Amino acid sequence: MAAAWGAGIFQDDLATDFAAQIIEGDGLAVLRRALAEAGQARGHLLYESAVRALIAAEVLAALGGQPTAALPPELKDWVTGRRGLEIPEALWPLSRAAVERVKEDSEISELWVRSDEFGRWIDKVDDLLGRLERSA
């Protein structure tokens, strides 16, 4: 399991690896798989699935015109290169369900709830949910 080292959604060792998968792969398909895995998984959501879902949701929000200021430069460039991309309508509720799942029943939320930074982390997740709602 990768160690979280900051309350920001992109402050995780897995974030860089997953960003590369989005950029180098079929971006929307990579996003859809990560969101579906988290939103439709049975049982407690594992750490890696939760991190990928949060990153995928952040990229989707950026594609919808609601980026976070913390979006890494390589993902900003990727999003900028896809302006006008038609986003399948089904991705919006899937993204919100995935983020809610991460927030409520995941290994990463359990780790954060035990830390002094839980309030900062939950604020970032709630901000993401709000931006997803405005993007749809």
Q: How far is it, in rounded angstroms, from Cα 62 to Cα 135?
A: 8
How big is the chain by its Cα radius of gyration, in Å?
13
Write down the pTM of the prediction: 0.91
**Would you kindly state where each structural domain of the chain is located, as residue ranges?**
13-135
Q: Is 121 helix (H, G, I), strand (E, B) or coil?
A: helix
Per-position pLDDT tens, the chain of length 136: 344 456 678 877 788 889 999 999 888 999 999 999 998 888 889 999 999 999 999 999 999 999 999 999 999 999 999 988 899 999 999 999 999 999 999 999 999 999 998 999 999 999 999 999 998 7
Q: What is the pLDDT of residue 1?
A: 37
Q: Which residues touch 52 (CB under 8 Å, ≥6 apart)?
A: 14, 18, 34, 37, 38
